[in-house]
Amino acid sequence: MKLLFVTDPLETFKIYKDTTFAMMREAQKRGHTVAACEPQDLMWQRGAAVTGHVRDILLTGEATDWFEVRQSRIVALKEFDAVVMRKDPPFDSEFFYATHLLEQAERDGARVFNKPRALRDHPEKLAIMEFPQFIGPTLVTRDEADIKRFHAEHRDIILKPLDGMGGMGIFRVGPDGLNLGSITETLNRHGAQSLMVQKFLPEIVAGDKRVLVIGGKPVPFSLARIPQGGEVRGNLAAGGKGVAQPLSTRDRFIAESLGPVLNARGLLLVGLDVIGDSLTEINVTSPTCFQEIFDQTGFDVAAMFIDALAQAVDN
């Protein structure tokens, strides 16, 4: 296959843990060709197919200077067998516009994974609200009175922005309600912006589990991101410790229930976040943890992904 990865700058990759790098490495190992570009490199001119300023690359196997550019060129995205959208959050206006360009590329004949429309239709925090049977008490609002009522009912709550990533902007407010008003004003920008409020799940001490689902099927191991040093956040970006572990019965049930539904919508790769028995997020933009799971368990997540990608391209 000829593969194009739309991603962050290659020069910023930390290849010892980067999931996109693991995908590229597995693809090259199988003899597939690898090219890369950034969202800003996409172009759509009147009457023409969507193109990209892409770099055809070869992975060198070195820890530094890990890739070399074989050539740079402008090429229509439909010329690739698959376009893999791997731009990290946040889902801002430029990400949004990129999905529109990629959707036009689909109309040109390109195969894009995850599907651009599905990326737009599944904001990573809001998406859980479609599946209330799997989530804990949750409220989405911009109204301070709604938040106060939720706190009065549940006493110990988590507040977070809908567009946050890596644990950014997450606050816990306990039964005393200390600073609830100021936290609400910060997150809702004095009523101008919606936020998510959830009942605090004490099971976070055992980790915020990332359950990967590929081609509708769960990876048999999750990565539990365990908070460290009194933190309430387990995110690796916030200093959490990643511990790979087999899926629990509940993890597997959630993944096997949602996997086929999300895959049918064009989401080839999904990262479900589970605390205890409760689904807390559905990550669709650029789910990670491939290498951490492989390093600790030997299960080759990247191989499972390239298998699923090849199958999706053939269908």
Give catalytic residues, as residue numbers.
125, 160, 210, 225, 233, 273, 281, 283
The residue among 97, 117, 95, 120 whose CA lies nearest residue 107 is: 117
Question: For residue 211, with 0-12 CB atoms within 10 Å meaning exposed, 13-18 middle and 19 or more buried, which class applies?
Answer: buried
State both tokens at 162: 């809908």
Could you tell me if 91 and 163 are in contact, meaning their C-beta atoms sit under 8 angstroms apart?
yes
Distance from C-alpha of 278 to C-alpha of 92, rounded to nearest angstrom? 27
Buried (b) or exposed (e) across 288-311, using 16+ Cβ within 10 A?
bbbbbbbeebeebbbbbbbebbbe
Distance from C-alpha of 136 to C-alpha of 275, rounded to nearest angstrom? 10
Distance from C-alpha of 299 to C-alpha of 291, rounded to nearest angstrom? 9
Q: How far is CA 270 from CA 31, 86, 104, 208, 287, in A?
A: 25, 12, 23, 15, 6
CB-based contacts of 196, cutoff 8 Å, min separation 6: 125, 126, 138, 139, 140, 159, 160, 161, 162
The residue among 23, 77, 30 whose CA lies nearest residue 49 is: 77
